[in-house]
Structure 1
Amino acid sequence: MDMNRILQVLVGAVLFLSSCSTKDNNETSVSPEMCLTDSLMQVVSIDIVHTRILIDELTLNGRVTFNQEQVVQVFPMFGGRVIAVNAEVGDYVHKGEVLAVVKSGEVAEYEKQLKDAEQQVAVTRRNWDVAQDMYNAGMASARDTLQARQELVSAVTEERRLKEVYSIYNLSDESRYEIKSPITGFVAEKHVNKDMQIRSDQGEELFTVSGLDNVWIMGDVYESDIRKVKEGAPVRITALAYPGREFVGSIDKVYHILDEESKTMSVRIKLRNEDYLLKPGMFTNIYVQCESTDDTMPCIDLHALIFENGKNYVVTASEDGRLQVKEVEVYKQLRNRCYIHSGLQEGDRILNRNTLLVYNALNAD
């Protein structure tokens, strides 16, 4: 016997034992109503009906895009021939990981300059040592010593500058330089292949790398709905790839410009992308909650609502514990609650757990 069947039997038994009764001349007569007892309260729960501002839910078409704050484009710093490509679109790369290697004549020139600078440092250091020895022996002037020292400082400065260039641009021996990922993330675009000739002044990036820990959901708002959306409005998002699953967030930016072709305004939602479930390019549905009017209506949890034969019902509980089935008219149904146009009012008590089982037991006859 499954759990629902067990609960149904239990609720039925409890309701049978908890029938409201009245005594007349020491005799007991059972009314058609049932009472809310301590035993029944163990399997149900009670909600108090409150009136709330009427919330509308606007549906937008959306798409997943990269978080542009985490997107980095990698351009070539030197021209040359690509001798290795180590990353493809979709690969996960760490910061500093080598994406490609280029053999370059420009790097060869820097390599020559660095070797010349290292040799110059050795020569000027030797001259400085000699100048100091001669000065100590009275064979050279302080001016000669100072000049030798300045030449050494200049040579060391030039060597340090070239080594810094090597470090910044990831240059190495044999006229090569390595193109490394500046951030940790996924390779979103790749425009380079092995043996390709590249130039340092080309306008197209070689790689685009982006993190996917956070993504943007971009939604399109038609002119007729612009007044309904605002920054901070709560949203829920669904994607075709994950039926039954919802992602929750809020609008963090409204772009107050209409697209000339589609005549829509864009809104943005930033989402934490756990397990990289949301992929850039995915289409989504965005459900925006917005206050449509200043009107208020009784609002209840969807678990309290029962639909049967084209009508909606709730189970009410009076102050003295009497249970009764009551028909209601639903004005609007949202994700987990609904607004009641008639049948309930502020302060009414209704069941919101195992309601269907109680409803069936009350209508068993």
Structure 2
Amino acid sequence: MDFELNEEEKLIYNTAREFCEKELIQHEELLERTGVLPPELDLEIRKKGMAIGLHACNLPESVGGGGLNCVSLTLVERGLSRASTALAECVRRPNNILAACEGEQVAHFLEPVMRGEKRECIAMSEPDAGSDLRSMKTKAVKDGSDWIINGTKHFIGYAQRSQFVILFAVTGEEHTPKGIKKRISCFLVDLDAPGVTVAKGYEQLGHRGHSNDILHFDNVRVGGWQMVGEEGEGFKVVTKWLGEGRLSVAAVCQARAERAFEVAVEYAARRKQFGQAIGNFQGIGFPLANMATDIRLGDLLLMNTAWKVDQKAPTVAQDCAMAKVWCSEMLGRVADQAIQTCGGMGLMTDLPLERIYRDARAERIWEGTSEIQRFIISRELMRAHGA
């Protein structure tokens, strides 16, 4: 069994990490100080990412993307995500749903994204519908060949920086053996369309420069051509995308944990007390050993899951949930212990630890809470036994 990255994979990771170190991390202080990512900086980073082939590296070559498999894409995520989320997101990895664009959707939505001219956001969560997506209230009602959409979505990342939204809405109901279920469909909607309002979201813990906006839809008319896939099959689209999104979160957490650990180890080796490096004392050294072990386990779980996605293993849903819950919770432990290792300096903005600590908390919530991940894992375990 070979766990070694091949030369191409090493090159992909090193390219992403070097880009992060050179082009992204230098702007973290600006984000922390202002809480805003200037549009001109966003564009500058995006162009630089395009120049070296990182833009849309997740999308298939058939639509003009880089066509990276899951293992390589996970390495890109790890390399870029050592920096703040808002900066890493400037290097666009568009939502994979866009690869399903057909007909008029290609010229209007997909191609401008591939050229770096448009940006998408995705809207699922609602004030009364978070983890239970089927309880969403945003509706799309058929009107001739068009659809009329009404409802509200929130926690929409980067809506104010986007030109269109991948929207999920209820388009009807169906009877199933488990009762009546809502039919959910997926639409591509221009954010400057009549009736669409983009409102500023909530003030949040961590992730400076990352917005969580609110979208209101008031009798918004969209053409039938703007529906992605078949009517009522949006939940299948969501399920597939969420699995990939959870693995992406796991990669982000792994990268941040590695960075926090590196800072802690360097500090423990450099800081002297009682005539020796503090890392030589068990009270510091043993927690560092625990952190190193946790990070190694995260690395193995993350990359094994990415490999299984490429192999189309039947346990992918469970595997992605395991990777997400482990890496996100592990990051919280590592960030906390890294600050403890550095003592008072760990709380200061001179080191990135206090930011990593704040940012880490959201990872156990978005793309499905830790509780949802454990539900998925336990559900798959029972399904294997027919329960």
- The TM tier, using the shorter chain, reads under 0.3
Q: Which has the higher contact order (CA 8 A, sep 6+)?
A: 1
Please give the TM-score of this superposition, normalised by the length of structure 2: 0.21
Between Structure 1 and Structure 2, which shows a larger proportion of strand residues?
A: 1
Larger radius of gyration: 1
Query: TM-score w.r.t. structure 1 length?
Result: 0.22
